[in-house]
Amino acid sequence: MKKETLIKDATILFTFLFVAWGLYRLIIKLPDEVEELLVKPVIWILPTLYFALVKEKDNLESVGITFKNLFPSVYFAIALGSLFGVIAMIVNFVKYGGTFNFGAYLGQLPLLSSIGLSFATAISEEITFRGFIFSRLEKALENEVTAIVISSVAWTAIHVPITIFVLKLAPSAAIIYLLLTFAYGIGAAFVYARTRNILSPIFLHVLWEWPIILFR
């Protein structure tokens, strides 16, 4: 497939998501379970699969849905995710004045349901961004580093609406949040480039979120 077509497809998909998901965040607020299990797959995954399977006439492996490199995918995610965990514990220790406080979300139902939602979110977002947008940019640009940076900028931009309309963060907190989001995007694209299996960034996504939740 022509390089111009790959870049065009990635750009159109990102633009659609930025507008559609941004408007959704601005106008509508449904329960998290409905958003992550129903709304997000429709807005994110279905257009992605349309571009990959129908427009490009490619297969699921082209967006990382494969059984190849299963163990390396987990290893890479755990290795980088462990770093997130260490950072979260340090933040927790400092925040609570030299002691640890792991009291958040210890009930069985909140913990299990939240983990499930984390995986649902990761599946939709990683298939779209790492599986499609990053992989198309990398193939078209023939440069992994450039593709990682561009896709991570797009990944950060897609989180601007939630920063403003949902989290309603102060400017300084918003900047920190978006910088961390950009750093995660780089890490997720890096592990995906090593494995070509979408499970790697999915696991990393969950490991990235949960130290923040459990150790806050």
Instruction: Report the candidate in 48, 107, 64 with the shortest Cα–Cα distance to residue 195.
Output: 64
For 64-126, the three-class secondary structure string (H helix, E strand, C coil) is: CCCCCCHHHHHHHHHHHHHHHHHHHHHHHHHHCCCCCCCCCCCCHHHHHHHHHHHHHHHHHHH
* Tokens 């797009």 -> residue: 154
Distances 45 to 37, 50, 114, 149, 181 between C-alpha atoms, Å: 11, 9, 21, 22, 20
User: Which residue, chain included where needed, has tokens 């379970």?
Assistant: 33
**Does the pLDDT at position 116 exceed 90?**
no
* Residue 213 pLDDT: 53
CA dist 183 → 39, 76, 82, 84 (Å):
26, 16, 15, 11
The answer on pLDDT for 129 being more than 80 is yes
**pLDDT at res. 119:** 93
Torsion angles phi and psi, residue 23, rounded to 5: -65, -40
Confidence of residue 100 (pLDDT cuts 50, 70, 90): low
pLDDT band at 81 (very low <50, low <70, confident <90, very high): confident
Among the residue ranges 46-55, 58-67, 100-109, 178-187, the one predicted with the least confidence is 100-109
Of residues 4 and 172, the one with the higher pLDDT is: 4
| pLDDT, tens digit (0-9, with 9 covering 90-100), for 200-213 | 999 999 888 765 55
User: Who wins on pLDDT, 14 or 177?
Assistant: 14
Average pLDDT, the chain: 87
Report how many helices (DSSP H) and strands (DSSP E) the chain contains, helices first.
11, 0
Question: What local confidence, expressed as pLDDT, does residue 34 receive?
Answer: 92
DSSP string, 25-39: HHH----HHHIIIII
Global pTM exceeds 0.75: yes
> To 10 degrees, what angle do helices 171-195 and 199-214 make?
150
pLDDT band at 174 (very low <50, low <70, confident <90, very high): confident
**Confidence band for 140, pLDDT divided at 50, 70 and 90:** very high
CA–centroid distance for 42 within its chain = 16
Mean pLDDT for 173-198 is 91
Q: What is the pLDDT of residue 109?
A: 45
DSSP 167: S
Query: Lowest-pLDDT range, 68-82, 105-119, 186-200?
Result: 105-119
Q: At what angle do helices 144-158 and 171-195 cross, to 10 degrees?
A: 140
Residue 99: pLDDT over 90: no
- As a whole number of angstroms, the distance between CA 203 and CA 183 comes to 16
CB 167 within 8 A of CB 177: yes
Q: Give me the percent of the chain exceeding a pLDDT of 90.
A: 59
Structure-block tokens of residue 21: 């998901």
The Cα-based distances of 117 to 40, 75, 92, 113 in angstroms read 11, 22, 23, 6
Domain boundaries, the chain: 3-214
Find the distance separating the first CA and the last CA of the chain, reported in whole Å. 46
Residue 2: name the closest of 109, 136, 167 by CA: 136
Structure-model confidence comparison of residues 106 and 127, the more confident one: 127
- Rounded average pLDDT over 147-163: 96
